[in-house]
């Protein structure tokens, strides 16, 4: 239940308020401190509730009550803090009363907190007898009926798994089938289990269903039942005796054991002791939703990731389930294809809908209704689909539950940039500090965990191997929305639906904490919505919209307590000064005709992330980010000029304006790279510089602005974009690069664009000791020939060569000993990719984009890599891949 996380985050927010903003809570410190203690009581209470199965209605109702109480506390405190902040600025309460229907004061806040404490005690005192009764209630069973017959598209999958189970390795091997719920893992395992080749290869076969509600003795007894006839005596055995009996029956036999629906690593560790390794080719086949379990069971061999059905297979399955051996009537075929496509390749959803369509297999009108709203028809039978998927959600640890249902905020099938998702999670308060690890690194670990559990799908990985974009399956997206609605976590204004003002002002909207508009945002604003409790406002319009000056009053009139404001898809006519009144803001993303970011943004003391997209090439950032203690990320698309603090002769760690939290500054002008600015951002990890780079490299008085970059000991990513507009790029050509020792010492990713360097200067980059990713965008280097020197690029894994006039590139394997990926784009003159790269054992992929002259050489490298693969008889690698665009 997500209430655990809500209490944790509220408690952390109170601590931050007491620690950093004591001036705004003067007079209610004791009440807030008392409330912190009450929140700790609630955490203990929720720990007791965890003993109850999450489907128990009483447990869920208690969790909802606690969530409501916590939200009430946040509302009272945040409203008071807003009033206090405005009073401090204007020095009179009378001038801010127009912001509130009921102006808060110390007495009203104290009274509200006392009422909340009373509610907490009432809930806590009444819980005991009900909990004891609830624990004995039966748990919800696992329904596999819909999965059992899903065989379309599994023939090749089964062949691969059978091959892995029957290979020549004599030692005990573990093969895992991994995938999200409803994908057909059990069905595939049954196909494999019953395959004649498997039956002939193994002399002993047994099947154990582990499931979420794991009981070791029951699983072991089930497996023993396959090995010997059950009796009253076997049921009386303890776990050790059962384990010994299983080992005795498996001794000196080649066996196959299937452990179906394994959820945790603990369950695997408990069960594996029953299966001896006798070096006779025995196998264990696992099915699991959790990749971590599969990797623990066999860390040396990747699991078999079960794929989704393609569109043709989806329609074939739907047709087979509705019409059996008959084909789908022509008049229903297009509708059937539409329905199947909207199931997003998930067999379970297709089977559920087929059950409905089978009852109306000749009624076109009904098929049209289903095609219009596939999600709602799947939801009509929750036991068959959504509840099956919900097991994965309910099994999540508390810190991941809110992170998961937050995916409901994005439109269905939306490709989510991970950088954006991470900043949003941090701003929402979902990521709590744990030791020295940064919040952003923790957030990426949370995402990886959700991917490992097959709840989130990877769309694209970056050059460094990290997830770049991700998405959630449409059925899991529905689950997110279902859980979010129940928790009053978020409300979505969907596309193509006109909401009358009566609906937008309804109670359902009034109580939600997050508002996500997936439709006409202006139509929503015109309706004058009432959403005083909203903490996050996110917009995803289907097309770019103009947001004029007359609409900006919406910010302070409707979103008084907002923390997250994501309007980057709307085009604002000017910078809305009203935003600076929203003192609780932690995340701002806006787009418009901005030339200046005013200093008034500095008043937003909680601000962590500022993402600005402007129509201008240059931006004057007058925000004093060095006085904003929570600030972490500045992203702009323009060349932004920063104004550092008043210059000092020396900057050290005792300087109060040193801002250790700042991790990203992108993109700034070269003349902003002064010691006065960069020395005050010692924790900086990402830096983007755009403009005339000769200014950055120019040496004056034996030093250059680039020297200040070398002092950034934590900098990992650097982008240098040479923008000479309105002058031609040749006017800003760089004659050379600074020596390698002047680069940031821990730099692992470097991007260059339009620097027009001679290829001989690649020797400087080759010496960077930690460089793993090098992106040479359009005309980063210029000239007909590149001959790499020996002894460089020791750690380089990813190399991109963008548009250039390169003709001859000579290289051997020792020049790039760890290179894994090569991308070549628009190199029309390149004669060949160096054949010596075939000797790089780490090389996994090569991509050629619009580089036709080098295709023949790339094909030869591919052939050599295939021969090498065969000679090594490597079964653990996917092999070398050559990708050519456009396809031949």
Element (H, E) at 110: helix 106-125
**Sequence spans of domains, the chain:** 3-135, 155-305, 311-382, 387-489, 783-888
Of 365-374, 429-438, 868-877, where does the model show the most confidence?
365-374
639: its two tokens = 């060349």
534: its two tokens = 């909203």
CATH architecture, range 387-489:
Orthogonal Bundle (1.10)
CA 714 remoteness from chain centre? 24
SS3 percent helix, strand, coil of the chain, rounded to 5, is: 45, 15, 40
**76 against 217, higher pLDDT:** 217
| pLDDT digit string, tens, across residues 766-782 | 999 999 999 999 999 99
pTM to 2 decimals?
A: 0.86
Element (H, E) at 569: strand 564-572
In this structure, which topology does domain 155-305 adopt according to CATH? Rossmann fold (3.40.50)
CA distance 801 to 762: 12
Cβ-Cβ contacts under 8 Å for 129 (sequence gap 6 or more): none
Closest CA to 255 of 308, 193, 209: 193
Judged against a pLDDT cut of 90, whether residue 664 lies above it is answered with yes
Grade residue 805 by pLDDT with cuts at 50, 70 and 90: very high
What's the number of CA atoms in the CB half-sphere (13 Å) around residue 176? 23
Grade residue 421 by pLDDT with cuts at 50, 70 and 90: very high
Judged against a pLDDT cut of 50, whether residue 101 lies above it is answered with no
Closest CA to 173 of 149, 202, 152, 210: 202
Asked whether the beta carbons of 670 and 707 are under 8 A apart, the reply is no
pLDDT value at residue 556: 75
Mean of pLDDT values over 235-263: 90
Q: Where are the beta strands (DSSP E) in 784-863?
A: 785-786, 798-801, 808-809, 821-825, 845-849
Radius of gyration of the chain (CA): 31
Range with the lowest mean pLDDT among 31-40, 196-205, 518-527, 634-643?
31-40
| 539 φ/ψ angles, rounded to the nearest 5 degrees | -115, 135
CA distance 9 to 84: 22
Closest CA to 565 of 596, 591, 529: 591
Class (C level, CATH) for 311-382: mainly alpha
Closest CA to 763 of 735, 745, 790: 790
Q: Tell me which DSSP letter residue 752 carries.
A: E
Q: How many CB atoms lie within 10 A of CB 134?
A: 18
Judged against a pLDDT cut of 80, whether residue 45 lies above it is answered with no
pLDDT value at residue 647: 58
Asked whether the beta carbons of 382 and 406 are under 8 A apart, the reply is no
| pLDDT digit string, tens, across residues 686-714 | 999 999 999 999 998 888 999 999 999 99
CA distance 61 to 67: 10
| pLDDT digit string, tens, across residues 451-464 | 999 999 999 999 98
Q: Tell me which DSSP letter residue 602 carries.
A: G
Grade residue 21 by pLDDT with cuts at 50, 70 and 90: low
CB burial readout 713-748, b (16+ within 10 A) else e: eebbbbbbbbbbeeeebeebbbeebbebebbbeebb
Range with the lowest mean pLDDT among 213-227, 635-649, 657-671, 846-860?
635-649
| pLDDT digit string, tens, across residues 633-657 | 999 999 999 987 765 545 565 666 6
Judged against a pLDDT cut of 80, whether residue 41 lies above it is answered with no
């Amino acid at each position: 239940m997500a209430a655990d996380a809500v209490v944790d985050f509220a408690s952390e927010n109170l601590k931050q308020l007491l620690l950093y903003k004591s001036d705004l809570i003067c007079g209610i410190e004791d009440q807030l401190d008392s409330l912190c203690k009450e929140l700790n009581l609630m955490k203990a209470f929720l720990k007791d509730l965890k003993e109850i199965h999450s489907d128990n209605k009483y447990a869920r109702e208690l969790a909802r009550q606690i969530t409501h109480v916590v939200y009430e506390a946040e509302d009272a405190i945040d409203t008071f803090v807003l009033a206090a902040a405005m009073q401090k600025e204007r020095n009179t309460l009378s001038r801010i009363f127009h912001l509130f229907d009921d102006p808060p004061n110390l007495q009203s806040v104290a009274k509200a907190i006392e009422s909340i404490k009373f509610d907490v005690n009432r809930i806590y005192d009444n819980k005991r007898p009900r909990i004891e009764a609830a624990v004995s209630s039966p748990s919800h069973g696992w329904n596999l009926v819909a999965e059992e017959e899903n065989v379309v598209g599994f023939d090749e999958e089964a062949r691969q798994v059978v091959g892995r189970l029957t290979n020549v390795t004599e030692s005990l091997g573990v093969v895992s089938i991994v995938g999200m719920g409803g994908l057909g893992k059990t069905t595939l395992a049954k196909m494999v289990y019953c395959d004649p080749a498997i039956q002939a290869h193994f002399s002993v076969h047994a099947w154990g269903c582990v499931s979420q509600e794991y009981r070791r003795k029951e699983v072991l007894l089930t497996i023993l039942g396959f090995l010997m006839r059950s009796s009253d005596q076997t049921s009386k055995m303890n776990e050790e005796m059962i384990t010994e009996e299983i080992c005795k029956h498996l001794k000196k036999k080649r066996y196959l054991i299937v452990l179906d629906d394994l959820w945790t690593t603990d369950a695997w560790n408990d069960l594996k002791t029953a299966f001896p390794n006798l070096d006779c080719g025995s196998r264990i086949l696992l099915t699991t939703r959790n990749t971590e379990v599969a990797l623990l069971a066999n860390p040396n061999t990747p699991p078999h990731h079960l794929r989704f059905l393609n569109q043709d297979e989806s329609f074939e399955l739907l047709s087979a389930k509705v019409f059996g051996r008959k084909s789908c009537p022509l008049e229903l075929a297009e509708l059937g294809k539409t329905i199947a496509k909207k199931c997003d390749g998930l067999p379970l959803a297709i089977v559920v809908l087929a059950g409905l369509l089978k009852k109306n297999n000749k009624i076109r009108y009904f098929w049209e209704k289903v095609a219009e709203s596939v999600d709602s028809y799947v939801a009509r039978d929750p036991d068959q689909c959504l509840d099956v998927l919900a097991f994965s959600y309910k099994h999540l640890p508390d810190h991941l539950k809110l992170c998961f249902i937050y995916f409901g905020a994005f439109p269905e099938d939306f490709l989510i940039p991970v950088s954006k998702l991470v900043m949003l999670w941090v701003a929402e308060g979902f990521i709590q500090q744990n030791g020295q690890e940064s919040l952003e690194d923790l957030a990426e670990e949370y995402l990886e965990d959700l991917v490992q559990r097959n709840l989130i799908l990877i769309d694209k990985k970056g050059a460094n191997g990290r997830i770049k974009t991700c998405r959630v399956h449409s059925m899991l997206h529905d689950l997110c929305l279902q859980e979010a609605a129940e928790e009053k976590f978020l409300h979505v204004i969907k596309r193509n639906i006109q909401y009358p003002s009566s609906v937008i002002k309804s109670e359902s909207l009034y109580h939600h904490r997050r508002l996500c508009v997936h439709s006409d945002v202006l139509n929503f604003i015109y309706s004058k919505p009432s959403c005083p409790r909203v903490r996050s406002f996110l917009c995803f319009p289907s097309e770019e919209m103009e947001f004029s000056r007359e609409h900006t009053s919406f910010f302070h009139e409707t979103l008084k307590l907002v923390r997250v404001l994501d309007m980057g898809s709307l085009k604002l006519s000017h910078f809305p000064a009203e935003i600076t009144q929203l003192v609780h803001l932690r995340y701002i993303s806006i787009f418009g005709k901005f030339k200046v970011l005013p200093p008034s943004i500095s008043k937003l003391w909680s601000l962590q992330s500022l993402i600005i997209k402007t129509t201008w090439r240059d931006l004057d950032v007058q925000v004093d980010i060095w006085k904003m203690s929570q600030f972490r990320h500045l992203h702009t698309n323009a060349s932004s000029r920063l104004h550092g603090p008043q210059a000092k002769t020396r900057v050290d760690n005792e300087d109060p304006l040193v801002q250790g939290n700042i991790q990203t500054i992108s993109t700034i002008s070269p003349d902003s790279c002064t010691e006065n600015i960069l020395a005050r951002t010692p924790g900086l990890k990402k830096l983007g510089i755009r403009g005339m780079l000769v200014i950055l490299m120019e040496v004056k008085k034996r030093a250059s602005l680039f020297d200040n970059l070398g002092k950034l000991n934590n900098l990992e990513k650097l982008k240098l974009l040479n923008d000479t507009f309105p002058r031609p790029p040749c006017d800003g050509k760089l004659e050379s690069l600074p020596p390698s020792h002047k680069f940031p010492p821990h730099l692992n990713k470097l991007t260059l664009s339009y620097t027009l360097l001679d290829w001989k200067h690649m020797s400087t980059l080759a010496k960077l000791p930690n460089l793993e990713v090098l992106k040479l965008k359009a005309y980063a280097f210029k000239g007909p020939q590149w001959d790499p020197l020996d002894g460089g690029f020791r750690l380089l894994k990813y190399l991109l060569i963008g548009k250039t006039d390169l003709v001859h590139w000579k290289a051997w394997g020792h020049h790039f000993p760890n290179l894994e990926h090569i991308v070549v784009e628009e190199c029309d003159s390149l004669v060949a990719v160096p054949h010596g790269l075939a000797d790089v054992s780490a090389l996994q992929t090569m991509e050629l984009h619009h580089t036709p002259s080098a295709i023949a050489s790339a094909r030869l490298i591919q052939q050599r890599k295939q021969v090498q693969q065969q000679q090594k008889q490597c079964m653990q690698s996917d092999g070398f891949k050559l990708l050519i665009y456009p396809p031949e």
